[in-house]
Structures are given as C-alpha cells and as structure tokens.
Amino acid sequence: MFESLKNLLKHFSGNQNTETAQPVTSNQEIKSATPESNIHELKTMGSQYNTLAKFNLGLGSIGPANRTDIDPQRLNEMYQAIASGKYNVPVKGAVPEICVDGRTDKDGKRLEAPSAAGGTLSVVYGGDLAGAFATDGVNELQLTSQVINTLKSKGHGTGVHGDDHSSCGCGACAKAKTIYQHITERINDIASLVSQYGINLDDTDKQIIVQQANNRLNQADFFADDRATVLNVAQQNGAIFEELVGAHNELGIALNTKPGTTVDRSAIRKDFGDKYDMFVVDAWAFGNAAKDINTIGTEETAQRIAKAITLQNVATASILGHGSLQIVPIA
Ligand SMILES: [Zn+2]
C-alpha cells in the first residue's frame, strides 16, 4: 500500500532523487478511528488514516482526543492538506538534523532540515539499537559524540533541541531509557505499524534490536542520569541547538517520504492557527544516515540501522503521544 518508504530503505544507497514516490490513494484505505473515543466526531467523519491506537500504541498524552480546542472538521482538513504535500519545503540536508517536535522557536520558526525523533539523537539511538557501535563500556554520551563527529566528517549538519521551560525539553532525549524499554516490550506492535508502510522486520532484526535494547537497559550508567548532559555534549561537539517554546499541540504524525523536503510547521500554523501542530518524521532521510554511520559496512547492517531509526521514531511517538494521533503519509 505504501511502497515508497520501503523502496527508500531498500535502495537508499542509490541516488535518492531518482526515487519515484507513489501517490497516496488514501480513500482506498479508509480506516475506522480508534474506538476509545471522545474523538467519535472524527470517526463519524470517516478517518482515513491509521492511529497509533490501531497498533495498541500511544501511551502518552499528546493527541487530539485530549483536546477540547480543536474543530474536528478543521483537523481533517489539515490532515488532507498535509497529505497533499502542500506544506513540503526543500531542505539542504540529507540526514536527520532537527526533532520531529511540532513546536517552533520564539519567532515562530524552525530550521529547515530533515526531522527525526531527537534530531541527530535519532541516529545515535537507531544506530545503537541496530548494534552498529561498540557494545561494551561505551555510554550514551560517548556515542552521541561519536555519531556527531562521524556525520560532520561526511559533511552533514547535526542538531538537538530543548525548550523554554525544561532542563531537557526534548522528549526523545528525556525519555530515551523508557523508549528503549518500550521497544523491548512492544516490538511486535511497533513492527506491525511499520509493516503498514512497507518496512518489514524479520525475526533476526527483532531479536538483535531487542537484545541490544536490553543490553543497554542492563548496562550500568549507559543512560546519563541528568538528561540535559546529552544535549550539552551534543552541542559541545557542534550540534546546532533550537530552543522551542510553549506546550505540545501536536495532533498527528506527518510521515514524509518526499526526498529533499520537510514539512513547514510555521505554514501549517499560518493556515490553521497555533493550536494545530504536527509531529514531522522525514523518513526519507533515515537510509542516508544509516549508510553514513555504518561502521560494520554490510548492506544488511545499513538496512537494520535504517529500520532501527524508524522503530525509535515510532517508539518515541508511542511514549509521548496518545493513541488518537493519526499517521498522515506524504508520498
Ligand atoms: Zn525533541
């Protein structure tokens, strides 16, 4: 149903610009909305998109079911406008640099760069979960430094973010340990979700990723107790820092597979108001990052890193987000 993401992951070593995106014929894929509902208004309107709840995911609070300030019809209009590619804008970078976070800085802006959960930290955690790095004695801070320097040496930008009211305002970073735990507990649910978008994890993939997550959870001091130190180490190694402001108002997950683009959060707010935000996942960039941090060198490992980055993004959405978040593909 959604071949382009699969193809991007399969063929990322080729010229990404030659990928032919398949149009989404979402009317053929009408799904019923999550049954747990004070979003039944959405349901009666015929929700077109998968929710996290459909896969038993979405333990967090961010999502439309927890909002009283949203017009369901406007929400559907926003989803459809985003799916049409209306808000896609070009980026210079080719690997994840900024966070999926839907918020902006105090000037209402974001860097125009590829997005993944935690920005560059998504590459750190995805690479780690795929077993791409040394397994013993190395901690999260050392891996953060290593990955940033590897990406920089290949000419890529790197970035992390905080916000204006927390010591570690990035959920992907603040809850990294919980996200690893979630992957060990819910690997089949997460794999089921990503399979809907053409990414298939075989038993070996699942086993390696869950084993690696468990190794880190059991490794004393792998995760820094003070989460802000991860952001500090990233910046000391050259990562750009964005300070985002305000509360989380994300109402869905934009799953963007158009190479060379991201979704313009400011433009969405301009059309729908500042209570209408989206998480933005630029999945087309995952394979590029996987290739460039793959120290083992095999195609199989690169594939597994790209898959693990995808899992880290889904698991982050599931920990922070509510089951009512809908996944809106842009192909
Ligand atoms: Zn973040």
Q: How far apart are CA 11 and CA 49, in angstroms?
A: 26
∠35-39-43 over CA atoms, to 5°? 65
Amino acid making up residue 124: V
**Residue 325's pLDDT band (boundaries 50, 70, 90)?**
very high
Look at residues 284, 331, 258, 329 and name the one whose alpha carbon lies nearest to residue 95. Answer: 284
- Expressed in angstroms and rounded, the spacing between residue 44 Cα and the centre of ligand 1 is 33
- Expressed in angstroms and rounded, the spacing between residue 30 Cα and the centre of ligand 1 is 30
Mean pLDDT of 140-156: 98
- Expressed in angstroms and rounded, the spacing between residue 25 Cα and the centre of ligand 1 is 31
- Expressed in angstroms and rounded, the spacing between residue 79 Cα and the centre of ligand 1 is 22
Token pair for 65: 């079911």
16 pLDDT more than 90: no
> Looking at the whole model, is its pTM more than 0.75?
yes
**Residue 299's pLDDT band (boundaries 50, 70, 90)?**
very high
- Expressed in angstroms and rounded, the spacing between residue 95 Cα and the centre of ligand 1 is 16
Q: How many domains does the chain have?
A: 1
Distances (CA, A) of 171 to 73, 90, 123: 29, 26, 15
Q: For position 242, what pLDDT does the model report? A: 98
Q: How far apart are CA 97 and CA 157, in angstroms?
A: 6
- Expressed in angstroms and rounded, the spacing between residue 29 Cα and the centre of ligand 1 is 30
**Residue 4's pLDDT band (boundaries 50, 70, 90)?**
low
Q: For position 217, what pLDDT does the model report? A: 97
**Residues of the domain holding 189:** 3-330
The per-residue pLDDT of the chain, averaged, comes to 89
Mean pLDDT of 284-306: 95
- Expressed in angstroms and rounded, the spacing between residue 47 Cα and the centre of ligand 1 is 27
Q: For position 37, what pLDDT does the model report? A: 44
17 pLDDT more than 80: no
In tens, the pLDDT along 239-268 reads: 999 999 999 999 999 999 999 999 999 999
Distances (CA, A) of 67 to 251, 273, 279: 9, 15, 16
Q: For position 7, what pLDDT does the model report? A: 57
- Expressed in angstroms and rounded, the spacing between residue 316 Cα and the centre of ligand 1 is 9
% pLDDT > 70, the chain: 86
- Expressed in angstroms and rounded, the spacing between residue 123 Cα and the centre of ligand 1 is 13
- Expressed in angstroms and rounded, the spacing between residue 229 Cα and the centre of ligand 1 is 15
Alpha-carbon dihedral 186, 123, 221, 244, rounded to 10 degrees: -90
